[in-house]
Amino acid sequence: MTSELPPSKTPLLDEVHFPADLRQLPEKDLRQLADELRAEMIEAVSITGGHLGAGLGVVELTVALHYVFNTPDDKLIWDVGHQAYPHKILTGRRERIRTLRQGGGLSGFTRRSESEYDPFGAAHSSTSISAALGMAVARDLKGESRNVIAVIGDGAMSAGMAYEAMNNAGSMKSRLVVILNDNDMSIAPPVGAMSAYLSRLISSKSYRAARSAAKAVTEKLPRPLKNAAKRAEEYARGMVTGGTLFEELGFYYVGPIDGHNLEHLLPVLKNVRDMKEPRPVLVHVVTQKGHGYAPAEAAEDKYHGVGKFDVVTGAQAKVKAAAPSYTRVFADALIAEAEKDERIIALTAAMPSGTGIDLFAKRFPERSFDVGIAEQHAVTFAAGLATEGFKPFATIYSTFLQRAYDQVVHDVAIQQLPVRFALDRAGLVGADGATHAGAFDVAYLGCLPGFVIMAAADEAELVHMVATQVAIDDRPSALRYPRGEGFGVQLPTQGVQLQLGKGRILREGTSVAIVSFGARLHEALAAADMLATFGLSATVADARFAKPLDTDMMRRLAREHEVMITIEEGSIGGFGTQVMQYLALEGALDTGVKFRPMTLPDVFLEHDSPAKQYAEAGLDAAHIVATAMAALGRNGDYLASAAVSGLKRP
């Protein structure tokens, strides 16, 4: 007797492997498919963790877009790719969806190398309209006819780049569809049946034909009457739809419509698909972040980013922290300094909880500012505050500060304004992968004259460095610290100002000098212990500063050791380059010391656990030892010992 398998919870989704399969379904089945897709996404993210709320909000929109448009021939570009989990499930990646953000698994964002259905990679926001316009113009130049659709939202409209792209698109005769996923009601008036009817009407061919005929008539009128008629028509449409801003930017505006109602979405998207006029169209879709999953709907952040969780209750798995996170230590240290100095201001660019500025805001709401996804503005806003004697802390992820480099150079560095940059997520970040890794800040800030650049070796050093930044009043400064937990060291009761450009020696030795800049210090100490087993005495130093450099310490270490190794959680061009440049100009490398800089490799590292990423990058204790032994001509001894004793081999 054979046992029957239980019926599938997702019978329709089981038949949809690619969007072509989806387009074979009758429209009446799409509601059920959307429900199954939402359930599949919730279950998958409960296992892997990741971004949940944004994807839940676009389930129906994702189904409708792939149903109406002929993807992948039609190009569908998702802004802030963490909205795209439902899209991944529908585009041939369902079998791998439970590998999201895991080593060797699917990326948490859209990625060109992952699928032909991802025409543009996106992990930083507000790029979709620019990229889509480029694809639309390329299509026109090649004489093709495919649709190009950009889906922007989840805060991405707070960035100026989106409006720059819209302004450009509106002045061009290129057919482009922009879907504005308005998931926080910041723009939209109420939506309902009347709004859906009007959206369907103004996107219909008959309405557009009548509008074109009316325009043809008004073209024959005298200029004053023609202009008056144009303004009246725009005003009337603006009163009905609320889309005056987008019309002024040159877009044909449709909306707002309910993004969870397929009966509203499908006819409007079909009308937009069938438009042949060479102009951009914006469809304003209102959605709810976290929609369809009660715990997410009830949460303040709509479960924007989650760890593993229980699907039934929504309770996230609690991992007992061995030590406070660097982010929390920074926030507490800044709050403590702000208690003493009312000139301290905290700024962030749409990441208040990620940077700890939400904690600062609870204590000092009048001195805390979240400027939205607008890093360029954040930097120059901070510069303006600094001109008036305030002490702004621009608290921005290292990878996001890249977006404001011109402002850092022109508005801060050249004017030598004391803006304090607190760079969270410095170094490798694990599951978020290359797009969010803070790999380049030491290099791109270190080349700017007058900058003070610090890196915290542990959470106690972080507290002292916050106090040091508070005291720097004559130049810009940057403090970098990693993601995740600290090392559990004893925290000081209050921060103490460090002497600028002075490092510290933690262990004295004679053969090898290991100079760490940042949180690799503990790996350097472990490497020193391993070197001792080979009869090699190692000095371990914490540089603390990349600029100004502790030249006395560097000169001494180069003079007194056979091998000198620098190690940092950053790219070439950073701390090691600063040291090497100084020693070379001093002539310290002409004879004697064998200098070996250890940096992140010249590749974008795949997402994985941070420990595995650092091992792959060659920035762990085993690789420090191997580097030292190779410089001494004893790498064979090391490899033989590793084989016998089980030491980790690089």
Q: How far apart are CA 116 and CA 590, in angstroms?
A: 53
Count of Cβ atoms closer than 10 Å to residue 326 Cβ: 24
Which residue in the block uniquely carries the two structure tokens 């929504």? Answer: 314
Catalytic residue among 93, 94, 101, 289: 289
Residue 607 DSSP one-character state: S
Phi, psi dihedrals of residue 356, rounded to the nearest 5°: 85, 0
Q: How far apart are CA 405 and CA 375, in angstroms?
A: 9
With CA atoms as reference, report the closest residue to 528 among 487, 561, 572: 561
With 0-12 / 13-18 / 19 or more C-beta atoms within 10 angstroms meaning exposed / middle / buried, residue 362 is exposed
* E strand map for 259-323: 280-286, 305-306
Catalytic residue among 403, 420, 425, 483: 403
Is residue 96 annotated as a catalytic residue, yes or no? Answer: no
Q: Which DSSP string corresponds to 82-138?
A: GG-HHHHIIIIIGGGGGGTTSTTS--SSB-TTT-TT-SS-BSSSS-HHHHHHHHHHH
Q: Is 274 helix (H, G, I), strand (E, B) or coil?
A: coil
With CA atoms as reference, report the closest residue to 596 among 541, 515, 489, 542: 515
Q: How far apart are CA 178 and CA 247, in angstroms?
A: 13
Catalytic residue among 40, 247, 375, 523: 375
Q: How far apart are CA 268 and CA 160, in angstroms?
A: 28
Cα-to-chain-centroid distance, residue 443: 19
Tell me, what amino acid is at 121? Answer: G
Q: How far apart are CA 237 and CA 199, in angstroms?
A: 11
Give the CA distances from residue 80 to residues 94, 102, 185, 265, 573, in Å, rounded to whole numbers and listed in that order. Answer: 20, 19, 18, 22, 29
Indicate the helix (H) or strand (E) that contains 392: strand 391-395
Phi, psi dihedrals of residue 183, rounded to the nearest 5°: -105, 15
The encoded tokens of residue 627 equal 């580097």
Phi, psi dihedrals of residue 169, rounded to the nearest 5°: -65, -40
Q: How far apart are CA 578 and CA 637, in angstroms?
A: 32
Is residue 289 annotated as a catalytic residue, yes or no? Answer: yes
How does strand 594-598 pair with strand 563-568?
A: parallel
Q: How far apart are CA 574 and CA 376, in angstroms?
A: 23
Count of Cβ atoms closer than 10 Å to residue 643 Cβ: 10
Is residue 237 annotated as a catalytic residue, yes or no? Answer: no
Residues 107, 57 contacting (CB under 8 angstroms) = no
How does strand 512-517 pair with strand 538-542?
A: parallel
Give the CA distances from residue 508 to residues 520, 538, 593, 624, in Å, rounded to whole numbers and listed in that order. Answer: 18, 7, 17, 17
The encoded tokens of residue 268 equal 């409007």
Residues 280, 252 contacting (CB under 8 angstroms) = yes
Catalytic residue ranges? 289, 375, 403
